[in-house]
């Protein structure tokens, strides 16, 4: 299987995106996603990046997949990033300008 190695700058831009979202969450959503980790969890679930686990009693629970470099190549990460942008503009900060969000993440990454 041929894969494309991950782009560290793109990975950093993703976490800059999460920071921008956290800094701009509407008050109504701030309690729902109080931390970056919770926001990342939500994005993994909403983009389908999880496996189902059947716990004792056969209860099905989603287990988010890792986005670590070893677990996701660049092509998959590109799609994940794009899918996350879509979820953010539609459900997490409804009405935010997608291009403005992308630009804010690109600007924020320079502070890392």
- Tens digits of per-residue pLDDT, 29-87? 999 999 999 999 999 999 999 999 999 999 999 999 999 999 999 999 999 999 999 99
Determine whether 6 is exposed, middle or buried from the number of CB atoms within 10 Å of its CB (0-12, 13-18, 19+): buried
Dist CA 73 CA 2 (whole Å) = 10
Dist CA 41 CA 66 (whole Å) = 10
Q: What is the pLDDT of residues 9-34, one digit of tens each?
A: 999 999 999 999 999 999 989 999 99
Q: The whole model's pTM is what?
A: 0.90
Give just the sign of the alpha carbon dihedral 98, 29, 53, 73: positive
Dist CA 35 CA 33 (whole Å) = 6
């Amino acid at each position: 299987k041929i894969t494309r190695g991950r782009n560290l700058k793109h990975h950093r831009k993703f976490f800059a995106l999460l920071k921008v979202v956290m800094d701009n969450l509407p008050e109504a959503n701030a309690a729902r996603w109080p931390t970056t980790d919770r926001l990342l969890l939500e994005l993994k679930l909403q983009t389908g990046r999880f496996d189902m686990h059947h716990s004792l009693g056969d209860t099905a629970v989603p287990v988010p997949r890792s986005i670590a470099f070893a677990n996701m190549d660049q092509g998959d990460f590109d799609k994940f990033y794009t899918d996350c942008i879509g979820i953010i503009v539609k459900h997490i900060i409804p009405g935010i300008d997608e291009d403005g969000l992308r630009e804010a993440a690109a600007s924020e990454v320079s502070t890392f």
